[in-house]
Structure 1
Amino acid sequence: MGAQGHLIGELQDVMENRDPSGRADVLRRVTDLFIDGSGRFTDDQIELFGDVMSRLVGTIGRAARAEFGSRLALVSDAPADVIRMLAFDDAIEVAAPVLAFSGRLEDAALAENARTKSQGHLRAISGRSRLAEAVTDILVKRGNHQVVAGAAANPGARFSTSGMSILVKRAQDNGDLALCVWARPDIPRQDLVRLFVQASEIVKTRLEVADRQQAALVRAAVAEASDAIQTTARAGSSRHAQALAMVRTLHSLGQLDEARLLMYAHERDFDKTAVALSLMCDLPIGLVERVLVQSEPEQLIVLAKAIELSWDTAKALLALQAGRGGVASDRLNQSLAGFFRLQPKTARTALQLYRQREQASPSPLHYRAG
């Protein structure tokens, strides 16, 4: 620590010198000394280095601060107060390295930074190797497209239920972001299907506007892609595999009935509800999944009426379809009126048309008993 004592002894003279280059040189030498001894200092010694660095860093130019930040960002025992000072620097070239790499920034500081600083700061945060839910909640609300895409593509990012909901909503009209979200293993499958259904409508609309003569081909291609993506998502889902095995066994034993379907809907178990409804209606699982996430309730009411479900069960299915926000009272009243107005015979005819249409599609996936 003799060299450190010598440098600290020079500090007062340097601070009185108005030449920033002299101060930058002292900071560089202090940093060299700290990095050389990193891992061997006591907490008191780290605090002493931090005091020296803090007094110097605020008096030097942006380029020197950026150099200092890039050197300190990867030092595991860097003074926490100094790292925070760098992270909250308005100059992004200063802040970015520590925001992206420093392990000395706690989640609370990252969240505060994300709430108050520039989009450049948020982009740097979005690339960290680990992001807590409290941080991603802010990134998906405040961040621009680059920030949100960076967080969505980050395998170390964790999202709360509300954060994931916002992420999915923002991806609905952005193909690049949708691809990032689709690739995440932690997105609930109902959100994944909802995202594709809603985003694909936008894709279809844009393509049809560009070439209306090819509208039918466009719709067929997007529908085929939808089935392929849903199939891939199901194949990678352990929850779906477990739901399929359980519900298909119940169906083969004659024990899959309305009471079980109602229980699955009340539990908001998307996979069990989708498999059960697919088996009870004898419809491809992809179609049923899409019906359960779309914004309009008409098809779901048709399915419920065709297999003679009660209004209580239909209402539970509508609540699952509506997602976290629930069903608005006026929408529920409209659905109630439609449910009791629809005749079972008419619903069964519509259900048969659904089957015929799906059978004409490329390789629809049905789930059978056994």
Structure 2
Amino acid sequence: MPPAPSAAPVKMPPSEARTVSEFATDMLRRTTALFLAGPRPASAEQLDLYDQMFARLMPQVATDLLAELSMALAGVERAPYATARLLAVHPELRVAGPMLAKAAALTERDLAEFIRSSSPAHLVAIASRRGIGDSLTNQLIARGFPAVRMALVQNLTARLSEDGYRSLFKIAERDEDLAEKLALRTDLPAKLSRAFVAAASEGARARFIKAAPPATRATLQATPTRTAGAAMRAMWDDEQVKTEVAALNRSGKLSDSAVNRFCVTGDFPAVIAALALLCVVSIQVIEALMEDDRVTDLVLACKAARLSWPTTAMILRARPGCDTIPADDLEEARKRFEKLVLSEAQWKVRGLEAG
């Protein structure tokens, strides 16, 4: 006997489908109103019940209503956690933005996860959170997006570490808008401010000083300009950069990706310290290579440090205070890099120390 034909899926008539959607929309609005009318759910069990109701209704409603729900729950101190996460990872910024910017239900671990995978627009929302801590701001800066950096600098409640400021100052040397916004912050490390004024382009220096508080403006105006190398030395005179890069090296985490990240954030003192450790030469040797218009020995050092060509090219193009390397010269450097043998490169770089 032949098998019975399988039943075709039942398709809901369009009119009935609209009725279900309208019902879900009405129920979601009623559930939201009930939650907000309070008293707020006090127990985890009550919040979980709301999570379950929202989870059933959210897939059946339009994006506009999800945006309404996100706006409504973002300011609530104890919002249903699963609902907050679902809204925060929504691809539409109008849905995710309020949660990312305000929701107290999201933990630091949640936000760190979102920072690793979210779009620049979503990261701007996180950067605007009130009182965001320096661990998260460091991660945001490391993503390398200009709009995110600007949002962080303008968020006067955001806590920035000295490393974070060092990265921002390095980028601001040639970004006048960022330089001006940095000057408006009240928590700038004085030493880094002076080093920035010494190394920045004329335009960035002028806008930073003009926007600075009157009490510090005279001191900054009196700061002499220096070469990029001298300014970088001033930025890590306190040994902090060298200590932190050495700690990465001891833990086995001073890799190509770490150096690439330093380049993305404009942290060239860290790039120099990393190359010195990886090549087993002094910082002075690497610093001299960074300032040399000829890039042959710097390419050698990058090869000796086991860096990839993309990271090497980034270093060559972004060296502070140096002219842009022409495309033809960069291509020649790539060919030399690929022909180099690791052991020979390491031997030659160590010979620069003796020389």
| TM range, smaller chain | 0.5 to 0.7
Q: Partner residue of 1:12?
A: none
Taking structure 1 as reference, are residues 203 and 33 closer, same or farther at Cα in structure 2, changes over 3 Å only? closer
Q: Partner residue of 1:156?
A: 157
- Separation (CA, whole Å) in 2 of partners of 1:171 and 1:142: 16
Q: Give the share of equivalent positions with the same residue, in percent.
A: 28
Kept in 1, the 8 Å contact 2:172–2:204? The answer is no
| 1:183-232 Cα distance to aligned partner (Å, 9 max, x none) | 2222211211222333343558xxxxxxxxxxxxxxxxx59x85995973
For residue 216 of structure 2, the aligned residue among 204, 219, 233 is: 233
Does the alignment pair 1:127 with 2:82?
no
Unaligned regions of 5+ residues in structure 1, if any? 1-15, 205-221, 236-283, 300-315, 335-370
How far 1:49 sits from its partner (Å)? 0.9
Amino acid across the alignment from 2:215:
T
Q: Partner residue of 1:320?
A: 237
Kept in 2, the 8 Å contact 1:73–1:101? The answer is yes
Amino acid across the alignment from 1:176:
D
Does the alignment pair 1:146 with 2:147?
yes
Taking structure 1 as reference, are residues 331 and 234 closer, same or farther at Cα in structure 2, changes over 3 Å only? farther
Amino acid across the alignment from 2:285:
D
Q: Partner residue of 2:57?
A: 56
Q: Partner residue of 1:241?
A: none
- Separation (CA, whole Å) in 1 of partners of 2:29 and 2:42: 18
- Separation (CA, whole Å) in 1 of partners of 2:32 and 2:227: 58
Q: How many residues align?
A: 235
Kept in 2, the 8 Å contact 1:295–1:321? The answer is no
- The RMSD of aligned alpha carbons is 3.6
2:216 match: secondary structure:
helix
| 1:81-120 to 2 correspondences below 5 Å | 81-120=82-121
Kept in 2, the 8 Å contact 1:86–1:98? The answer is yes
TM-score by length of 1: 0.55
Amino acid across the alignment from 2:174:
D
- Separation (CA, whole Å) in 1 of partners of 2:229 and 2:199: 11
Q: Partner residue of 2:285?
A: 330
Q: Partner residue of 1:295?
A: 228
| 1:151-230 to 2 correspondences below 5 Å | 151-201=152-202, 222=206, 226=209
How far 1:92 sits from its partner (Å)? 0.6
- Separation (CA, whole Å) in 2 of partners of 1:134 and 1:321: 21
Taking structure 1 as reference, are residues 35 and 139 closer, same or farther at Cα in structure 2, changes over 3 Å only? same
TM-score by length of 2: 0.57
Kept in 1, the 8 Å contact 2:184–2:212? The answer is no
- Separation (CA, whole Å) in 2 of partners of 1:228 and 1:110: 32
2:121 match: secondary structure:
helix
- Separation (CA, whole Å) in 2 of partners of 1:182 and 1:227: 8
Unaligned regions of 5+ residues in structure 2, if any? 1-15, 242-268, 274-281, 290-355
Q: Which has the larger radius of gyration?
A: 1
Taking structure 1 as reference, are residues 202 and 296 closer, same or farther at Cα in structure 2, changes over 3 Å only? farther
How far 1:45 sits from its partner (Å)? 0.9
- Separation (CA, whole Å) in 2 of partners of 1:227 and 1:72: 41
Taking structure 1 as reference, are residues 228 and 106 closer, same or farther at Cα in structure 2, changes over 3 Å only? closer
Q: Partner residue of 2:75?
A: 74
2:78 match: secondary structure:
coil
Amino acid across the alignment from 1:295:
A
How far 1:21 sits from its partner (Å)? 2.5
Taking structure 1 as reference, are residues 294 and 42 closer, same or farther at Cα in structure 2, changes over 3 Å only? same
| 1:284-342 Cα distance to aligned partner (Å, 9 max, x none) | 9965x546x75244x9xxxxxxxxxxxxxxxx9796299833572326789xxxxxxxx
Amino acid across the alignment from 2:97:
A
2:61 match: secondary structure:
coil
1:58 match: secondary structure:
helix
Amino acid across the alignment from 2:237:
L
Q: Partner residue of 1:11?
A: none
- Separation (CA, whole Å) in 2 of partners of 1:45 and 1:186: 42
Taking structure 1 as reference, are residues 319 and 139 closer, same or farther at Cα in structure 2, changes over 3 Å only? closer
How far 1:75 sits from its partner (Å)? 1.5
Kept in 2, the 8 Å contact 1:99–1:128? The answer is yes
Taking structure 1 as reference, are residues 105 and 227 closer, same or farther at Cα in structure 2, changes over 3 Å only? closer
Kept in 1, the 8 Å contact 2:180–2:211? The answer is no
Kept in 2, the 8 Å contact 1:197–1:226? The answer is no
How far 1:88 sits from its partner (Å)? 0.7
Higher helix share: 1
1:156 match: secondary structure:
coil
